[in-house]
Amino acid sequence: MPYSLVISKAVLIVDGTVSKVSKNEYEFTISQFIKGKSSSKINVAIWKGWLCDSRIKELKKGQRLILFLERSPYGNFYPINESTGELYVDNNAFLDIFLPKDFLNPIIVKKGISMFLETYMFYGNFNGRFYQSINFMRNKSIFEVYKMTKTNSAFKFLVDDVEYFNPTEVHFFSVI
């Protein structure tokens, strides 16, 4: 799933650390909210790894993660698209070699996500076949967005990703 959709689908995007691990979930202490709000401690379901999507590192107390989360019907959270929604951070760097090369470090990624959320709004249905009912609205001109892409590599990656969906540009006029 493209990160533009993961970000749009997430009810919560957070940075923090694992505080406790049990059999089916882990307790997560949030240090920064990037999207959404919740209590500072949440429970996150542990997804089952498999051959094509295995966990990069064992979950343990103190492990820093950036999470892209949905809420389950049971009240806890779960990472969107499993490993896509669970980014491991060690020494302010990402461990996943499969991440986009433009995701240089957590500071750049978090700023890029914030810029993306300020610029694009999702509307549509995630359950549509082949993403055919997905639409985005852009509240800045393509020229403004182009200038912004020069300041943050993660934002540039997300823009390249979302422009595939041909976002609608919204113009705001002020009346004097």
Name the residue ranges covered by the structural domains of the chain.
Answer: 3-92, 106-169
CATH number of 3-92: 2.40.50.120
Neighbours of 100 (CB within 10 A): 16
Q: What is the C-alpha to C-alpha distance for residues 13 and 68, in angstroms, rounded to an integer?
A: 5
**68-108 tens-digit pLDDT:** 999 988 888 999 988 889 999 998 988 877 788 898 899 99
Burial class (CB in 10 A: 0-12, 13-18, 19+), 123: exposed
Cα–Cα distances (Å) from 153 to 49, 76, 84, 101, 118, in that order, read 29, 32, 18, 9, 16
What does the mean pLDDT of the chain come to? 89
Percentage, residues of the chain above pLDDT 90:
60
Q: What is the C-alpha to C-alpha distance for residues 126 and 5, in angstroms, rounded to an integer?
A: 8
Whether this model's pTM surpasses 0.75: yes
Q: What is the C-alpha to C-alpha distance for residues 87 and 115, in angstroms, rounded to an integer?
A: 19
**101-144 tens-digit pLDDT:** 898 899 999 999 999 999 999 988 777 666 667 889 999 999 99
